[in-house]
Chain A
Amino acid sequence: GAVVSQHPSRVICKSGTSVKIECRSLDFQATTMFWYRQFPKQSLMLMATSNEGSKATYEQGVEKDKFLINHASLTLSTLTVTSAHPEDSSFYICSARTLAGVNEQFFGPGTRLTVL
């Protein structure tokens, strides 16, 4: 089946540093990847849509300069949280959509970010 990986699974950093999270589709190509964040006991909130070779599309209220997204290839998208602050602590999840016609999304295992 379609597998999506994320790295790292957990990261703790100091306030003011930048953190990069990778999302990879392991056994399929994905022209489109999505980045979500999830606060405790809440549902997923879409942050941005990432398309290979073009600029990401951000949802309203999401700072593009703070959450930098790069989709360098059909199997890799990265999310960089710049100058992280404690309020950025959250669970970040990516998903990838297959090129096939089913239009199904597959999700990564998530990255737990804690900013001290």
Chain B
Amino acid sequence: DAGVIQSPRHEVTEMGQEVTLRCKPISGHNSLFWYRQTMMRGLELLIYFNNNVPIDDSGMPEDRFSAKMPNASFSTLKIQPSEPRDSAVYFCASSFPAGGGAYNEQFFGPGTRLTVL
């Protein structure tokens, strides 16, 4: 199994540009999570999907951020327009339900390091 796949691994862009981060979850996993990690705030959940439906987007910082999951094998996180304070490492993770309302561990992708100049 290839694990969670994220692309690109590194992205450098200029303020005001649109940025799109991509994630392919592990096959068979039906929950997908987008996280942001910064030195100041650590790891934070941005949004998560279950069966392609957004369940909790309370961590999405503002309208400049949007996320989609058009099918079970693909998700995008878009920032438009990007700002220097968006510079961070963005992780995608996936998991599958354990049944009976319980949940399993989350498997993390390698992350995308975003730098906005």
A binds B: no
Binding site for B on A (CB under 8 A): none
Binding site for A on B (CB under 8 A): none
